[in-house]
Amino acid sequence: MPASQQVIHYLKIDHLKGVRNLQEIRFDEKNLTSIVGVNGSGKSTILHALACCYKPESGKTRKNWKFSDFFTPTTHSTWKGSKFTMVHSYREGTQEISHEETTYRKMTDRWSPKYIRRPERFVDFIGIKTCVPRIEEERAAGTIKFSTKKHDDSDLIIAEMSNIFNKNYDELSVHVTANGKIFPGLSLKSIKYSSLAMGAGEQRVIQILSSVFTAPKYGLILIDEIDLLLHTDALKRLLRSISGRASSKNLQVIFTSHRETILTESDIVSIKHLHTIEIKDSSVIAGGTTHPLEAKTLCFSNTTPDILHRLTGDMTRTLEVFVEDDVAKSIVDWEASRLKIKRHVNTVFYGSASNCFSVVGGLALTKKYDREKQLYVLDGDVLSKEDERKTQLEKVVSGTEEGREQFREKCVDGIRQFNPSSDFGLSPESQIHHMIRSLDPNDLSGSEREIYDISSDIEYEKDKHYLIGKIISTLNVERSVGLSQIINLAAKSNYWYTYTQQVRDWLTHAATIVSQPDV
């Protein structure tokens, strides 16, 4: 019985080229996943591994990717010791197989499991080689003759091409030479041309769209360096096009990128940022001694460049507070200003809540963690229980060896959270919205009364995280200005003290540190 409804949940990588001890990189959060990171961080390595996880569907003529295609043994490396695990689900007839673990490794001269025993799935890998213009690969010296036919999905793909490049293409065609070579072709304003005369960007987008729009349901499409050859607007439109098709066909599209533009598309793309650190805390290394090659790869989800810069740099102010976003930062800033220590506090965004544990764990592993001078703040709407936090930290530092539990407890001790009331939405936006509405309007005037009135008019918002944004939009001011005004008003609420207590207590203690003469 052929498999169907395949989905990869995540990979766990023990050792694969430069990727070491990566506890989890997820691919099931959105149909599109982008892997980003500096050169050599392992982006392409993960794509190559994914391409080899499946065998082609029975009876289908597809490229059968093997580890030797990407991990070719050489004098310098045979890739022995490589090991990673794919956690995936699929259906066979009426039977659903959920979160099955398949481990791939090379302990001897061959990879296991045997290729014939791999699970089945449609897989297409689009590598950097596809960026090379066809004319540079062509060796024919004379006239190239071919027969032409319209591409089966011409109308569909041409509509997307026209939107992406802002050109009114007429048709997508297929040119075939006598010896079987295939060249895609375009028609623009009735002028026909093959890929031998195309721009490299056009050529590659045709290949990407052809793959996405002809793939069967639940297919896996892997694209290395999706942003190559495309200007920013074209890249954004390409991602929107892929997302629409992937959603309707339940495709998983995983790609690598170097472009920070990807970070602005987080509503349709799950962004995974790879960063490898050298472990310097001997308490979490087997045997208790550091080794110059002991390394760990961390994966951050939907984060910002700031936090990666911090992991590779040093503290710039006496105190550091790590928060999820600008709403949390505004709350911390207000409390720090009240204590007259704002000038000593550097606030860094880490993005989604799960990143908090990668940050604190990463800094602790590299011996850059200081509980007295660093605070890690959760919004309090998720991962609010201590056992949940320890589970998250186990993804950064796993194992039960001596010293590891104490290490995780040390990291947890540096985390605080806001204390949301369970009477309404747990997000900071919902809590602040409620605080403002709880005030007596007769005690307010000017801009404070205006903010109160706007907040009172908002009875319902489907996405609670947009509540503050809606108030700011109505106020017609810059976001930073609006946030400051809103937090100043919310701080007058009776709910404020309880909501911010953990953060305020830490900052109050920190104020005694910065007041010392040697600080």
Q: Around Cβ 247, how many Cβ atoms within 10 Å?
A: 13
* CA 16/CA 48 separation, integer angstroms: 10
Q: Please state the φ and ψ torsions of residue 359, each to the nearest 5 degrees.
A: -70, -55
Residues 194 and 248 in one domain: no
**Residue 287's pLDDT is what?**
46
* Count of residues in the chain: 519
Residue 289: pLDDT band by 50, 70, 90 thresholds?
A: very low
**100 and 14 part of one domain:** yes
Q: 481: how many CB neighbours lie within 10 A of its CB?
A: 11
* CA dihedral of residues 369, 371, 376, 378 (deg, nearest 10): 140
pLDDT at residue 210 in the model: 96
Whether 447 and 361 share a structural domain: no
pLDDT digits (tens, 9 = 90+) for 445-491: 999 999 999 999 998 888 878 899 999 999 999 999 999 999 999 99
Angle at 133 between CA 127 and CA 134, to 5 degrees: 95
Q: Which two tokens stand for residue 323?
A: 């928060």
Q: What domain range includes position 235?
A: 3-130+216-274
Residue 501 tokens read as: 């207590």
Could you give the percent of the chain with pLDDT greater than 90? 72
Q: Residue 143 pLDDT > 90, yes or no?
A: no
Residue 176 lies in a domain: yes
CA distance 28 to 416: 29
β-strand partners of 176 = 147, 182
Domain total for the chain? 4
Band (154; pLDDT cuts 50, 70, 90): very high
Of 274, 290, 311, which closes a domain? Answer: 274
**Tell me, what's the pLDDT at 141?**
67
In a shared domain, residues 332 and 319: yes
- Distance (Å, rounded) from C-alpha 490 to C-alpha 435? 5
- pLDDT value at residue 519: 44
Most confident of 3-12, 148-157, 460-469: 3-12
Nearest Cα to Cα of residue 83 among 108, 115, 64: 108
Write out the DSSP string of 338-376.
HTT-GGGEEEEE--STTHHHHHHHHHHHTT---TTTEEE
Higher pLDDT residue, 366 or 293? Answer: 366
User: What whole-number distance in Å separates Cα of residue 14 and Cα of residue 12?
Assistant: 7
Asked whether residue 28 falls in the same domain as residue 82, the answer is yes
127-136 confidence digits (pLDDT tens) = 999 898 887 8
Q: Is 228 within the bounds of a domain?
A: yes
Amino acid, single-letter form, for residue 376: Y
Indicate whether 206 belongs to any domain: no
Same domain, residue pair 227 and 335: no
Side chain identity at residue 395, one-letter code: K
**pTM of the predicted structure, to 2 decimals:** 0.86
Q: Where are the beta strands (DSSP E) in 164-242?
A: 169-177, 182-188, 191-194, 220-223
**Mean pLDDT value across residues 79-97:** 96
CATH of the domain at 19: 3.40.50.300
**Sequence letter at residue 49:** A
pLDDT of residue 293: 47
Peptide bond into 113 cis (omega under 30): yes
State the virtual CA torsion across 286, 289, 292, 294 in degrees, nearest 10. Answer: 20
Q: Are residues 257 and 308 in the same domain?
A: no
In a shared domain, residues 285 and 262: no
The number of beta carbons lying within 10 Å of the beta carbon of residue 95 is: 8
308 has a pLDDT exceeding 80 = no
* Rounded Cα distance, 8 and 49, in Å: 12
pLDDT of res. 284: 64
- Residue 292, pLDDT > 60, answer no
pLDDT reported for residue 20? 94
Judgement on whether residues 248 and 344 belong to the same structural domain of the protein: no
- pLDDT tens per residue across span 320-334: 999 999 999 999 999
Residue with tokens 């200003």: 337
For residue 437, what pLDDT is reported? 96
Whether 205 maps to a domain, the answer reads no
pLDDT band at 282 (very low <50, low <70, confident <90, very high): low
**Any domain includes 209:** no
- Is residue 121 located within the same domain as residue 245? yes
DSSP class of 53:
S
Mean pLDDT value across residues 37-52:
96
- Domain end marker among 236, 256, 274: 274
For 394-427, how does the pLDDT look when each residue is reduced to its tens digit (9 = 90+)?
Answer: 888 877 777 888 888 999 999 999 999 988 889 9
154/239 same-domain check = no
Q: Residue range 144-169: average pLDDT?
A: 92
User: pLDDT grade, residue 517 (50/70/90)?
Assistant: low
One domain, residues 70 and 118: yes
Q: Is residue 519 part of a domain?
A: no
Over residues 181-240, the pLDDT tens digits come to: 889 999 998 898 988 888 899 999 999 999 999 999 999 999 999 999 999 999 999 999
Percentage of residues of the chain with pLDDT beyond 70: 96
Q: Which of 165, 198, 231 is the last residue of a domain?
A: 198
How far, CA to CA in Å, does 471 sit from each of 326, 329, 397, 429, 467? 15, 18, 41, 10, 7
Is 303 inside a domain boundary? yes
Can you tell me the mean pLDDT for 316-345? 95
Average pLDDT over the chain, rounded to an integer: 91
Within a domain: 26: yes
- Tens digits of residue pLDDT in 261-280: 898 999 999 999 999 998 88
Residue 273: Cβ within 10 Å count: 25
Residue 431 or 282, more confident = 431
Q: Report, as an integer, the average pLDDT of 239-251.
A: 98
